Copies of this chain bind each other. A is one copy, B any other.
Amino acid sequence: MEQAMLKDIIDRYEAAHFLVNRRLNAMFRELMPEDLTVDQLSTLRYLQLHNRSTSSELADIFCVGKSSITAIVTRLFDKNLIQRLPDEKDRRVIYLALTEEGRQICDHMNDKIDVLLAKYIEPFSEQEAIGFIETFEKLAKGMMQS
């Protein structure tokens, strides 16, 4: 790709990324129940998909320090939404898992989020949506590796 075109694509990507990010975050915030934040829900949702994760894994995935994870996990633990399950073999390790209440909130929020996102994705043709998501996934993969 030539320089001028690449620069154009980058500028447009940044603008769209910023806009979608800010808008989506605000819309998610509005969906949230009283006592839960967007980041807290992200944590619950990750644990729903990856049961018995650990603080270290969350820190890697969320790209933050372990002390940030301790803070967020403690808040969710205090709300009785996640459990801390010590590993029997390696006593340094503490697995994290949803409680029944955490699972229910997750399920409920998943439905709400699906409805919200469907509104924006539905207008696209199947072909366009698939093409888009495939490129998006390649981009994500590229960022995973470095």
Binding site for B on A (CB under 8 A): 1, 5-7, 9-10, 12-27, 42, 61-64, 113-114, 117-126, 128-133, 135-140, 142-144, 146
Contact = CB atoms under 8 A, between A and B. Distances in A.
B14 A117 contact: yes
A139 to B, nearest CB: 6
Given A7-B114, A9-B121, A16-B136, A26 B63 contact: yes
Contacts of A144: 19, 23
A62 B133 contact: no
9 contacts: A1-B122, A12-B133, A12-B136, A16-B137, A21-B21, A22-B61, A23-B144, A120-B139, A120-B142
Given A16-B139, A133-B9, A139-B16, A22 B121 contact: no
Contacts of A140: 15-16, 19-20, 23
Contact of A10 (B10, B42, B117): B117
A21 B144 CA distance: 11
A87 to B, nearest CB: 26
